[in-house]
Amino acid sequence: MKENIIKITAIIGFVAFSLSSCSKENPPLVYFPDMYFPVAYDPLMKADIAYSDHENEIPAFVKNNGATGLGPVNGTVSHDVDGVADVAMNAAMTPDQYNGGYDESKLIVASPLNPANQKKDIERGKGLYEKTCSACHGTAGDGQGPIVVSGAYSGVPNYADRQITVGSVHYVLTNGRNSMGSYAGQLTPGDRWRVALYIMSAFKGGVNPAPAATTAMPMAATTVDAKPADAANVTTSPKK
């Protein structure tokens, strides 16, 4: 009898301990704390360990002042392999700032890419244009891509009717304009210049035409700041 009581007590104790250990609200003993307290990493902020008060001691993070956004792994491809990224173009802009930048971009008639590689750059730009842009702008640059022809979308301009430069085309690819969003997430900084070079070469008779005189286009009334990708949605001026 005594032996049975001991067994029953042991079983009850084991079950009680198991149930209490499985509680996710207040586990008395945690063997794998990351399962209970997952650590969310923000690459631009210092990582905080939810279940501990001590500092993050991971060597790679310590060297980066605790931030978890580390540099590219050796051997990987750089996003800006050409070294032509313009950080200022990625900042949030008001409509007036966006339009001012667009007007200034029309004064840029040469890309920062190596002129010695221009033939190859234009050839690559053609391939990227046909894959990325021709669905709306058309392979002939006439604004009659298959999406437009199908009737699903309209209002895409013919490049022949627009006063553009390689700089303004690059600006629109980077920041978007009107209904066209930014393509900075799809094309690297160098490739955006290559597409711009191809557009000027194929549809405007050359990559370095004289810059067109520009005036700021009237803006729709708004007080909302616009990010580069959607600044296009608060202006009434034409696309690239």
User: Could you tell me what percent of the chain has a pLDDT over 70?
Assistant: 60
- Total residue count of the chain as it appears in this document: 240
Report the distance separating Cα 115 and Cα 97, nearest Å: 30
User: Could you tell me what percent of the chain has a pLDDT over 90?
Assistant: 41
- The pTM for the full model equals 0.58
Q: For residue 190, which of 139, 118, 136 has the smallest C-alpha distance?
A: 118
Helix, strand, coil abundance in the chain, percent, nearest 5: 40, 5, 55
Work out the pLDDT band at 121, boundaries 50, 70, 90: very high
Overall average pLDDT of the 90-98 stretch: 80
pLDDT at 102 over 90: yes
Query: How does pLDDT run across 134-161, given as a tens digit for each residue?
Result: 999 999 999 999 999 999 988 899 999 9
Q: For residue 230, which of 178, 174, 167, 187 has the smallest C-alpha distance?
A: 178
Query: How does pLDDT run across 181-202, given as a tens digit for each residue?
Result: 899 888 999 999 999 999 999 9
Work out the pLDDT band at 215, boundaries 50, 70, 90: very low
Q: For residue 233, which of 89, 87, 93 has the smallest C-alpha distance?
A: 93
Q: In the chain, what are the domain boundaries?
A: 2-63, 88-234
What's the CATH number of domain 88-234, 3.40.50.720, 3.40.190.10, 1.10.760.10, 3.40.980.10?
1.10.760.10
pLDDT computed for residue 228 by the predictor: 42
Overall average pLDDT of the 77-102 stretch: 79
